[in-house]
Structure 1
Amino acid sequence: MDFRIATAQDTPQVEALWAYCFEPKEDPFFQYYFSNCYEPENTVVGIQEGQLLSTVHLRQYNINVRGAVLPTSYMVGVATHPAARRGGIGGALLTYSLEELRRRGQGITILMPSKAGFYQQYGWDLYAHQWVQTMPLENLRPLTDKALSFGLLNDIEQWTLLDPVYKAYTKNLCGYAERGEKEWKRLLGSFFAEGVNIAVVKNNTNEIEGYAVYRLGSPEIPVTEFVYTTRRAQRGLLNYFYNHRSQGESIRWNEGLHDTGYRFVPDGKTGHITMPYMMARIVDVETALTTVPVNPEAVMMPITLTIKITDSLCTWNDGVFELTLGESITPKVKRVSDVAKEDIDLTIDVGGLAVLLMGAVSAKDLVFEGKLDGESHWIDYLDMVYPKQNTYINEWW
């Protein structure tokens, strides 16, 4: 199979494969996506005997990692027609896509997995989970707060009302998507095209403290984005949903894993589970290490580490690198050869490096998982340089 960037002439076949593997063409999201968001120049296709049988859409995002804004491709619509499956096409498609992203100068890529195990074998690891809370509407009453008033949004130009809330919510988090006017309008446009509702809660000065994105039409009300700047705002939104007892039986909401409010919910974790949400992978080791900032307080003087990276998919990442810290908040990195085994300070697999940089796990966690090896003083140093973060992201495509 031959892989390349799509052209406008490929669009009918790209649409057909998406419809075959995901939503049908009549689906509102399909119509919105291919009318407003699809970009051939950011789509990789696989062609065999004149037929388009494989695709991955490289959605362009900026994500915030440890305070740095990094250009990133969010891989969505990874699809191979059943006629071409079980022949190594998936791995070849992903390899070509990573080569393309490397040519574009990107260091990290992300994706939301349908099956995380499929991608883990290719060097992706999960960096963000979410809480999923399911509760009968009747059980919400002890959690509600009537101090705030409600409002509804129905126009994409109202993105400016949500933006300050989102910024406040993500201020101290890591791995989230930066949203500007373009991103907000694209997101709200897809919501309204699908008949999704957006409720806000406002205080007595008319300032919005939180919002929820939800859908009606079934006994369970799904809330796919739940953002708030205060606990009373969350409780105010739950009061809003409590008022829907004639329109539903239960509510299911997603929220960031950093929120531990469940500790104070009656019955603790009843109906409370985690959802594996987003995976990350290193596209290019040198770019990733030189664009993700280190903790400046941990670097008091210049120091050089020799790190062996193992990557079975991308040959340009598989090898030994010198990492020099102390001259700025971003390290200097260079690939080296002919390094004696005893001179290697740390050995880490490419998936472990991704989740370490993203802040999802500590170096000590990676040692326990068998993804990182080295002497204890280097492990401790790595934890100071790349301390664990609260990770979050809530982009669905």
Structure 2
Amino acid sequence: MKPAEIDQNITLGEFAFQFELSTEQREDRKKIIKPENTWVAVENKEIASKLTIFPSDIYIAGEVMRMGGISGVATWPEKRRSGLVRELLRAAMKDVKERGCEVSLLYPFSFSFYRKFGWELFADAKIWTLSSSQLPQPAPLEQGTIYRVTQKAAAVLQPIYEKWAVSYTGAVLRDKQWWEDMVLKRKTGEIVVFKNEQGEDRGYIIYKIKNQKMEVKEFIWLDEETRTALWSFLAQHDSMITEVEIRPAVNDPSRFLLADSRITEKRESYFMARIVDMTSFLQKYPLHLKEGEELDLKIEDDFCEWNKGFYSLENVDGSIHIRFYPGHSEKKGLEMNIQTAAAVFMGYITAEQAWKAGRIQGEPEQVTLLQAGVSDLEPFIYDFF
């Protein structure tokens, strides 16, 4: 996008996502938009379609990988179904590959639409709804302290978040700007932190209360002491609220540990992922193969053709050696498309589940190798873009 096209870009976004900016908000938006991160389809000097790239880093299986997020995909109605978004996505994928991104994430308006271009569901979101009477019995802290954060929240929360995020595939590595623009401006409300007796910050909550309803937007804890302390803190609000809505990590065991576990849980499909550069992805991925074991993969990818081909992965002297044979190789291996590869390597489904469902074809011995080789860390992302 050219700088002169920023106003058109904002106008299309307002129409497509049904919001309206004030003059002041529009000027603020123009200051933070980076034209080099937006691709546009232009006809007669007018933007017909657009999308924005959000470059960042994420954790995958405990390793840091470069991510090119896709957001703000919009087209004027009279220009829809003419292939513009396909071409924008193709340009964006070439762009993020050149930037060194291994993966791309997006929040879809339609899962089937983005599957056509190689994205696949990789993370769910959970919402718990419970009455105030279902909270644990309020009790004063026996150890540690709870304190409220009102200034420089990013600097306080970042060390806690980073220790937590490395345990989840898909969690964004938040820098200061990401905290300010993507978290604190969107998840407004109160912030409290639990500090243990050793003086270490071990967890936090971002929450808001309105009309006797508490909404917990982030609930992060690093150990059982912190989890218990933060739940006890929530219970101290019992006289102010009648209902609590919590958005926990998908593997949070707190529901089981409540005295009254008959709460409402809603689980919904959330983010999609795409492997942009399979070779680079495999080079960074901590695949577990024993000495001498060899795993062979045959990947189909009709949208990012550079990924299509045969990959041979072998443990040689304790390190994984990768050989790539591009294109239509006659070599045999576990056959899958790039969507299934993302779902398996990022932990949304197991290799055995994909094989039984017909999403992977190949010998069961190789399926066992793949299943044993991938990380068992849960896929989860707290952010939205």
Q: Same fold (TM over 0.5)?
A: yes
Decide whether aligned partners of structure 1 residues 189 and 213 sit closer, same or farther in structure 2, where only a CA change above 3 A counts: closer
Q: CA deviation at 1:226?
A: 1.1
Give the whole-Å Cα distance in 2 for the aligned partners of 1:394 and 1:106: 20
Decide whether aligned partners of structure 1 residues 300 and 360 sit closer, same or farther in structure 2, where only a CA change above 3 A counts: same
Deviations 1:212-242 (A, max 9, x none): 1223334533222111123343343334334
2:295 equivalent to 1:299: no
Give the whole-Å Cα distance in 1 for the aligned partners of 2:23 and 2:357: 43
Query: What secondary structure does 1:215 align onto?
Result: strand
Alignment partner for residue 263 of structure 1, among 256, 267, 290? 256
Q: Name the aligned partner's letter for residue 308 of structure 1.
A: K
Contact (CA 8 Å) 1:145, 1:236: kept in 2 or not?
A: no
Alignment partner for residue 366 of structure 2, among 359, 372, 378? 378
Give the whole-Å Cα distance in 2 for the aligned partners of 1:264 and 1:28: 50
2:209 equivalent to 1:216: yes
Q: Name the aligned partner's letter for residue 94 of structure 1.
A: L
2:328 equivalent to 1:332: no
Give the whole-Å Cα distance in 2 for the aligned partners of 1:290 and 1:302: 16
Give the whole-Å Cα distance in 2 for the aligned partners of 1:279 and 1:30: 30
* Alignment correspondent of 2:35: 40
Alignment partner for residue 230 of structure 1, among 223, 226, 229? 223
Q: CA deviation at 1:170?
A: 2.7
Query: What secondary structure does 1:169 align onto?
Result: helix
* Alignment correspondent of 1:313: 303
Give the whole-Å Cα distance in 1 for the aligned partners of 2:106 and 2:225: 33
Alignment partner for residue 154 of structure 1, among 150, 159, 172? 150
Deviations 1:260-293 (A, max 9, x none): 2222224435211213222111112222222323
- Structure 2 unaligned spans of 5+: none
Contact (CA 8 Å) 1:24, 1:30: kept in 2 or not?
A: no
Q: Across the two proteins, how many residue pairs are aligned to each other?
A: 382
Q: Name the aligned partner's letter for residue 49 of structure 1.
A: N
Give the whole-Å Cα distance in 1 for the aligned partners of 2:343 and 2:117: 14
* Alignment correspondent of 1:323: 312
- Structure 1 unaligned spans of 5+: 1-5
Q: CA deviation at 1:338?
A: 6.0
Contact (CA 8 Å) 2:136, 2:259: kept in 1 or not?
A: no
Query: What secondary structure does 1:256 align onto?
Result: coil
Larger mean CA deviation between 72-81 and 209-218 belongs to 209-218
Q: Give TM-score scaled by structure 2 length.
A: 0.88
Decide whether aligned partners of structure 1 residues 273 and 362 sit closer, same or farther in structure 2, where only a CA change above 3 A counts: same
Give the whole-Å Cα distance in 2 for the aligned partners of 1:127 and 1:287: 19
Decide whether aligned partners of structure 1 residues 338 and 186 sit closer, same or farther in structure 2, where only a CA change above 3 A counts: closer
Q: Percent same amino acid among aligned pairs?
A: 21
Contact (CA 8 Å) 2:62, 2:166: kept in 1 or not?
A: no
Q: CA deviation at 1:37?
A: 4.1
Larger mean CA deviation between 109-118 and 370-379 belongs to 109-118
Give the whole-Å Cα distance in 2 for the aligned partners of 1:265 and 1:33: 45
2:161 equivalent to 1:172: no
Deviations 1:16-66 (A, max 9, x none): 122222263438996697256432211112222322132221111111112
Contact (CA 8 Å) 2:6, 2:30: kept in 1 or not?
A: no
Q: Name the aligned partner's letter for residue 299 of structure 2.
A: I
2:83 equivalent to 1:95: no
